[in-house]
Structure 1
Amino acid sequence: GNFDDSTTRFYIGCVVEALQYLHRKGIVYRDLKPENLLLDTTGYCKITDFGFAKRIGFGKKTWTFCGTPEYVPPEVILNKGHDLTADFWSLGVLMFELLTGTPPFTASDPMKTYNIILKGIDAVDFPRRISRNAQNLVKKLDNPTERLGVGRGGVMEVSKHIWFEGFNWAGMNSKTLTPPILPKVSSAVDASNFDEYPADNEHPPDDVSGWDKDF
């Protein structure tokens, strides 16, 4: 399904705060997507899986091609080098997916997805239920050179956008703001909120190729 403006704003707010923390340390995250966002016992959102995160410092670029196809920024696809602001592109994609239920750029295979991404967000049809301010924020996170957050204000430019007008940032930071979803958790090891998969009882075959005989 999809979330309304208010619910989406809460989770995007959590992500904005997390990115601000990482970017202050010169770390680009590069794998923002719903699967990497988990709710803690209080209902607040946490970023997980830092396999693609990299400390690049400030005002510097990196050229590693990585990320989830639907969330890869155009500058990564074009191998032009990317910096901390690559995360803001992914933030816009995440916001669109939370509001609609599907990412704005998707196709049957990665190469087709990349071609759609290179056409830009203006080529995407926004559902009518997405508010004008929400559309404006998503579109301002598109262009690599004019992207919201590229300036000195960094991610603070995003948090000051009109879509966040009236949002209780102080309440979120102090965790006094009531989250839209409160998980039912009985203990620290309660995994009942996760999907269940059948046990994998297969054992891998013994490797008899002898590649390690000289170790």
Structure 2
Amino acid sequence: MAAAKATSGADNGDSSCRDTGGGAGGEANSVANCAAGGRVYSLDDLDTVATVGTGTFGRVFLVKDKKAKGYFALKAMKIPEVIRLKQEQHVHNEKAVLTEVNHPFLIRLFWTHHDERFLYMLMEYIAGGELFSYLRNRGRFNNSTGLFYSAEIVCAIEYLHSKEIVYRDLKPENILLDSEGHIKLTDFGFAKKLSDRTWTLCGTPEYLAPEVIQSKGHGRAVDWWALGVLIFEMLSGYPPFFDDNPFGIYQKILAGKLDFPRHLDFHVKDLIKKFLVIDRARRLGNMKNGAEDVKKHRWFKSIDWDAVPQRKLKPPIIPKVSHEGDTSNFDVYPEDEWTKEAPVPPKDLEIFKNF
């Protein structure tokens, strides 16, 4: 599943497309079907090269554009499975969010489409692979490596929150590295535009904030909690709360007891503690100064925050990428008979008419 998460998010970076309407609702088809340079794509324009990820109800393919010769990631989702798993709203949320955002650390969406069997999202292909793979291979990151990724993630979260979007799925599998080593957040299936709070239980057990587990209604504070978990995992090699089953994990999260490995820097331990505060009103990032409080924390004192979104910080890991369509940083998946899917009845297709 890792690589499916990998290339499956997106962000529409073409402002001329975004300005044609729809906005946060994302339902204006002209917005979604408008791509860089105003081009409308079709499946006939795309040659499938390889599968770079698989998921519960979808696959992500590396595809080559026959006309422009460039590469994209095409996320294809089985409509019957989306309906069976009650993911219709998440799919619409994902498109709406990605149609609205435009940021160097968020993946880009170029085009959406559906036929009688599948929903399609055409996104930029990020060839460096998942941060998860690099973390797994190294065991853990040193302090400066963790600091680099954390700074770029803080900027991505700050941007999403400025648009009242909560991401809700921060974890190493959903952070891609581009060919230069900078991050791209991907998989916006759980992302949502929030006016107040939401009650949906979604996310990955180890990364869930207490208020999600307790069904108290949650908001943007969950992303800062998840960042605390992520920083702990990057620097330790394992998450702060883990168990053999989700219920055990939830108990540990609600107990809130942290056992830090000895090698962790004093300032980063303080930062993690301030993110992993059960009371979200006192959680760093969720108080009145928002992300500014995070940026001013002592652990980040060496960071030039103006340089971060300009991608001027020097990446600690440069992925080995031989060419634009290189798939060597993703797992290999069997190319099975995945497309043999029965057409969906018209009443079910109606749900996705604006997709």
Aligned length: 208
- Residue identity over aligned pairs, in percent, reads 49
Aligned residue number for residue 46 of structure 1: 184
SS in structure 2 at match of 1:88: helix
Give the structure with the higher percent strand.
Answer: 2
Aligned residue number for residue 28 of structure 2: none
* Cα separation, partners in 2 of 1:48 and 1:132, compared to 1, 3 Å: same
* Cα separation, partners in 2 of 1:26 and 1:193, compared to 1, 3 Å: same
Aligned residue number for residue 46 of structure 2: none
1:121-169 per-residue CA deviation (whole Å, 9 max, x = no partner) reads: xx22100011111110000012222100122211221111000011132
1:108-187 matches, cutoff 5 A: 108-120=244-256, 123-143=257-277, 144-187=280-323
The answer as to whether partners of 1:14 and 1:46 remain within 8 angstroms in 2 is no
Q: Which runs of 5+ in 2 are unaligned?
A: 1-138, 349-355
1:49-106 per-residue CA deviation (whole Å, 9 max, x = no partner) reads: 000000003xx21111110000000001011111111100000000000001111111
Q: Tell me, yes or no, if structure 1 residue 28 matches structure 2 residue 166.
A: yes
SS in structure 2 at match of 1:127: coil
List structure 1 runs of 4+ shifted beyond 4 angstroms: 201-207
* Cα separation, partners in 2 of 1:149 and 1:202, compared to 1, 3 Å: closer
Aligned residue number for residue 328 of structure 2: 192
Q: Distance in 1 between matches of 2:338 and 2:153?
A: 38
Normalising by structure 1, report the TM-score: 0.89
Normalising by structure 2, report the TM-score: 0.55
Q: Distance in 2 between matches of 1:23 and 1:49?
A: 17
* Cα separation, partners in 2 of 1:161 and 1:192, compared to 1, 3 Å: same
Aligned residue number for residue 219 of structure 2: 83
Aligned residue number for residue 103 of structure 1: 239
* Cα separation, partners in 2 of 1:56 and 1:107, compared to 1, 3 Å: same
Shift in Å, 1:192: 0.8
Q: Which runs of 5+ in 1 are unaligned?
A: none
Q: Distance in 2 between matches of 1:52 and 1:206?
A: 27
The answer as to whether partners of 1:73 and 1:89 remain within 8 angstroms in 2 is yes
Q: Distance in 1 between matches of 2:310 and 2:342?
A: 53
CA RMSD of superposed structures (Å) = 2.2
The answer as to whether partners of 2:155 and 2:308 remain within 8 angstroms in 1 is no
Q: Tell me, yes or no, if structure 1 residue 9 matches structure 2 residue 9.
A: no
Aligned residue number for residue 175 of structure 2: 37
1:154-195 per-residue CA deviation (whole Å, 9 max, x = no partner) reads: 122111100001113233222222100111212222111112
